[in-house]
A and B are shown apart, each in its own frame.
Chain A
Amino acid sequence: MSAGGYMHRPNRPLMVYAIGYLAFLYMPILLLPLFSFNDAIYIAFPLKAFTTQWYQQMFANDAMHAALMNSVQVGVSASVLATILGIFGAKAVTRFRIKGVKPVLGVVMLPLVIPPIIMGVALLILLSQMGIPLSLITVTVGHVLICVPFSIVTLMASFEGFDKSMEEAAADLGDNAWWIFWRVTFPMVFPGILASLLLCFTISFDEFIMAFFLAGTDPTLPIFIYGQLRFPQKLPGVLALGTCIVAVTFTVVFLAQWLRGRGPTAPKTEGN
């Protein structure tokens, strides 16, 4: 056979496109580590000497640490809360015959299409009307709001991917709702839960607009970085931080992929 049939024939234009696309996607990111080790304040070629001073500066920058910790705290809380709500939502939508679940789902999904700036302003007005002071908690609330739809969509796929007679079998074998969740549902949708946590954390971690409106005196990392951009001499430090974040992100994503490969395999329902 000549190179495995129609679908497998090499396609030169497609390959060029793919390489171009990947370059466009990753070149800017590769510039981050490059300039983060460059001994110059201005981001421009040609490169000067190699240095690690920006990293030293970054580690010494307490304000940056605080912002990073704020973001991690908000990201973890928001992703955990959104995923818990997402589990309930996805289970309700996929498992129960509830009247009017479609319109309710539509409302829950709205943050997917409403611009965050509008949501941010709306929440700000609401909170100030209610007299609630702005803080990391309000940012977390805002992030939960935008993360829940993503969590539901991710988890709905997991719930739909397994036969609901699994849960019925567990009930039939003597388990009440709690036990069914722990012994069957949770392990079966675990990859989905993990995916939802990662996705929500990422969304929260780099969310700027809502955080900009809802953060009080404690900035999250994106807000902090935005503030730093006004001072040219601070920029290389930001590059160093960016490099660290990219490295951590890659590690986490690879780890997640690896975990997924090892997780419980998708249920086969057909005979044989």
Chain B
Amino acid sequence: MSSDDSFLNIEQVTKRFGAVVAVDRVNIAIRTGEFFSLLGPSGCGKTTLLRMLAGFETPDEGEVYIDGVPMSGVSPHVRPTNMVFQSYAIFPHLNVERNVAYGLRKEKLSKQEEAKRVDEALEMVKLGGYGKRKSNELSGGQRQRIALARALIRRPKVLLLDEPLGALDKKLRTDMQIELRQLQQSLGITFVFVTHDQEEAMTLSDRIAVMAQGKALQVASPKDIYNRPTSMTVADFIGQMNFIEASVGQVADGVAALEAKGLGRMKAHINGTAVTTGAHMIAALRPEKLSLTDSEPNGGGNVVKGRIEAAAYLGDRSHFHVRVDGLDQPLAVAAPDLPFVGDGAKQEGRPVWLTWADDSVILLDKDTR
């Protein structure tokens, strides 16, 4: 078992469906009261992993511990978890009140106590007074809230949510994100949240596990995932990234000298990456870490000349593709409002200079993709 404050431990968990390895030796330690997201593209095994936490699937290898208790052989109905299903799974033959009260059977409450709990739960999801509604008289957002109330009324230690906002429109989705986060903070329950929307994961989570092809590639805070990705896959999945091939020269004091294709000599902070002199690696640069000017900057630092290939003016910022000699791909650049963009003047072919700071370069191993 791993670190002390971890509460939900996933250790070496593997699940196969025939030849498909849906979840591949995943290790994650989730802390008490944490909003934790499983993020990854479709088919990467998020749902399967979540279902193993709920007990609907059994790991082929490995073990899930909740509060130190191994969960193998513990059926879903006795686990201290509750789940919000992607389809919500609202019981159509029961009204809202009966749906929400469904999980209270074993508590053997009196009528009044039960009604009180149901009212509390409905208030919590801002659906007070909806108890007598039929379940087919609800909008998508309301169904989502009912599913949430129904799960939370059992006061679980862990709430599992499988893309609960996937079916909602953009506006409602944003509102629900805020509410969900507030609810989680006020209740202090551990949330494990599945999504394929990186923005959603970044907004909501304390920490994120980025998954691909059944593996948990990186488990870290949104900030670290964005600024310190440990692989090209993660870097590419979260936001946009320029990848430039580079060979490593001198390594000293946590800084590596690089010879990057098209960009020439530059420096990069290595941040614990295993880097050896002479290795061929990838220098990764976020579009917004590149500053763009239309005149040659004076002073030293990292600078490269290029030509604008495409430009998009978005008001508060502009996006560019900048062609640099020696690079196969144009560099993506995101710049704040610049004086020469957006007034109708032709941008294509304009010579520009790009500069960046040493510590904005991320060194990555080449993924075998």
Contact = CB atoms under 8 A, between A and B. Distances in A.
A172 B91 contact: no
B87 A165 contact: yes
Interface stretch (A83-91, A223-231, A233-241, A260-268): A260-268
Interface stretch (B37-45, B76-84, B300-308, B319-327): B76-84
Contact of B75 (A171, A184, A270): A171
Given A163-B89, A169-B89, A271 B140 contact: yes
A172 B83 contact: yes
Contacts of B103: 173-174
B83 A169 contact: yes
Contacts of B82: 172-173
Given A172-B54, A175-B105, A268-B136, A166 B167 contact: no
Contacts of A272: 139-140, 167
A267 B103 CA distance: 20
A187 interface: yes
Interface of A is mostly: loop
A174 B105 contact: yes
Contacts of B93: 187-188, 264
Contact of A172 (B77, B90, B144, B168): B77
A176 B140 CA distance: 29
Nearest to A172: B83
A67 B276 CA distance: 95
**What interface size band does chain B fall in?**
20 to 34
B65 interface: no
A172 B136 CA distance: 22
A183 B88 CA distance: 17
Interface in B47-78: 54-56, 75-78
B105 A179 contact: yes
B299 interface: no
A30 B356 CA distance: 93
A265 B94 CA distance: 10
Contacts of B81: 172
B154 interface: yes
A265 B136 contact: yes
Given A165-B89, A172-B76, 17 more contacts: A165-B87, A168-B54, A170-B91, A172-B54, A173-B103, A173-B154, A174-B105, A174-B106, A176-B77, A183-B102, A184-B91, A188-B93, A265-B92, A269-B88, A270-B167, A271-B143, A272-B140
15 contacts: A165-B85, A165-B89, A166-B91, A168-B83, A169-B83, A169-B89, A169-B91, A169-B150, A171-B55, A171-B56, A173-B82, A173-B102, A184-B91, A270-B167, A272-B139
Interface of A: 162-163, 165-166, 168-176, 179, 183-184, 187-188, 264-272
